[in-house]
Structure 1
């Protein structure tokens, strides 16, 4: 009898060893998200873990870098991009589940300077002379060829007739938070970032806001990847919830969907 009990105990232990990695995996969600959502998403993920017991690991970088990492097989369950172009890229590479895609957030773009800068309020409009405003200093933003904020910035400056003169003064950063840091440290005289970034960095001040019609609408799509774990749908539902809306709006984002609950 004792031998039978021992065999059964060993069998149960073996099952536990086999099933525990899968069970642990189901309790984790990995999110690849645009650098600009870090503060809001960190708070949101903490709230989600408290509510569900599911741990969320977030990796932040430029949307361009994240889209390519997912394409190359990085183990992400969710992708949140700072523009539609890189989400479209991920869709074209079959990296995301198109049916799960939603335009989640909106933002605006601002001109910033270090808090101790003599530059104050600037009217940004047609003929805006950004090059003259920067003087001998540099202008920080994301890489205009790939990083969403840089692409938005270049589009706006081209429309306003300011790009050609200012182009040589730009310091291209790997993502918007890196550009924000350059300005906060005084390593750049000016920067072009999202309004939400300026809001969380005490080392900078907003000196101007780009007209919404000077650049494509700033939209953050979110989607599950094609390799997402089953529990990912519940996380995406939480992103669309009233609780998420309150958190995102606290950080200055526009919530573009009708909250689910």
Structure 2
């Protein structure tokens, strides 16, 4: 092959590579709470099935996610597990005006390892005695929504003072679930959707609704977003099609649209 021919061949390969990159644009960056991993993944698949680039999903505890956004982390849409952290982002003018809405609801349950025979049934009053010197797995009750909701529920039932020193605080609710799955804690407080996502735990007791404020998942587009698909995906996760997916994972759809 002569030198010009070789140059032409190399040029053709470079052009083909550029063409391939242009044909595979990246989707918007979506930040979500740990409890939404499976459900939001399926929603993202549904969006991609319509011919869009699949969103890039990133999951962490709501405090960590909100702090990342406050620190300037690039993203397009954010979902959190409670309103408080979203309020902080709104106060900092980091949300696109008019895009925030309350999307989903959840509930709390007490779980135990699937193979355990320790029971609590509907009476949580005997939980401190059943724990003994063991630990109660919870998301950090000082910062993480699932932990904060759990603390409020236990306080309303008069159990927190007996349990506070037994709590094993986890970085997020999935980390708390993992402690119970591994048998490192005999009980844990998690969302009912986390229970549904795991075959390694069973429900030890339902935590009565009304024991804590309603658990609400807000969503919004970030003010810094410039991705052309961001607003479209935001509309899609509030659609009837996405509602069916979220319901399958145990989330309730809130009236606000």
Question: Aligned partners of 1:98, 1:112: CA distance in 2, in Å?
Answer: 39
Give, in angstroms, the shift of residue 101 of structure 1: 0.6
Question: Aligned partners of 1:75, 1:257: CA distance in 2, in Å?
Answer: 30
Give, in angstroms, the shift of residue 52 of structure 1: 2.8
Using structure 1 for the length normalisation, give the TM-score: 0.87
Pairing 1:240–2:238 present: yes
Pairing 1:201–2:206 present: no
**Aligned position for 1:171:** 168
Question: Aligned partners of 1:246, 1:101: CA distance in 2, in Å?
Answer: 21
User: 1:126-141 residue pairs with structure 2 within 5 A?
Assistant: 128-141=125-138
Give, in angstroms, the shift of residue 136 of structure 1: 2.4
Give, in angstroms, the shift of residue 92 of structure 1: 1.2
**Aligned position for 1:3:** none
CA offsets 1:47-104 (integer angstroms, 9 cap, x no match): 1111132221111010010000011111110110000111111111222124101110
Equivalent pairs counted in the alignment come to 242
Give, in angstroms, the shift of residue 189 of structure 1: 0.8
Question: Aligned partners of 2:101, 2:123: CA distance in 1, in Å?
Answer: 31
Question: Aligned partners of 2:120, 2:188: CA distance in 1, in Å?
Answer: 14
Relative to structure 1, the CA distance from residue 161 to residue 98 in structure 2 (aligned partners, 3 Å threshold; closer, same or farther) is farther
Pairing 1:152–2:145 present: no
Using structure 2 for the length normalisation, give the TM-score: 0.88
Give, in angstroms, the shift of residue 129 of structure 1: 3.9
Give, in angstroms, the shift of residue 133 of structure 1: 2.3
Gaps of 5+ in 1: 1-9
Question: Aligned partners of 1:252, 1:151: CA distance in 2, in Å?
Answer: 20
Question: Aligned partners of 1:69, 1:53: CA distance in 2, in Å?
Answer: 26
Question: Aligned partners of 1:195, 1:152: CA distance in 2, in Å?
Answer: 13
Contact conserved, 2:24 with 2:53, CA < 8 A, in 1? no
Contact conserved, 2:112 with 2:203, CA < 8 A, in 1? yes
Contact conserved, 2:105 with 2:217, CA < 8 A, in 1? yes
Pairing 1:225–2:246 present: no
Secondary structure in structure 2 of the residue aligned to 1:100: coil
Give, in angstroms, the shift of residue 24 of structure 1: 6.2
Question: Aligned partners of 1:138, 1:98: CA distance in 2, in Å?
Answer: 43
User: 1:74-223 residue pairs with structure 2 within 5 A?
Assistant: 74-124=73-123, 128-223=125-220
Contact conserved, 1:129 with 1:162, CA < 8 A, in 2? no
CA offsets 1:151-192 (integer angstroms, 9 cap, x no match): 001111111110011111110000000000000000001000
Gaps of 5+ in 2: 1-10
Contact conserved, 2:101 with 2:256, CA < 8 A, in 1? no
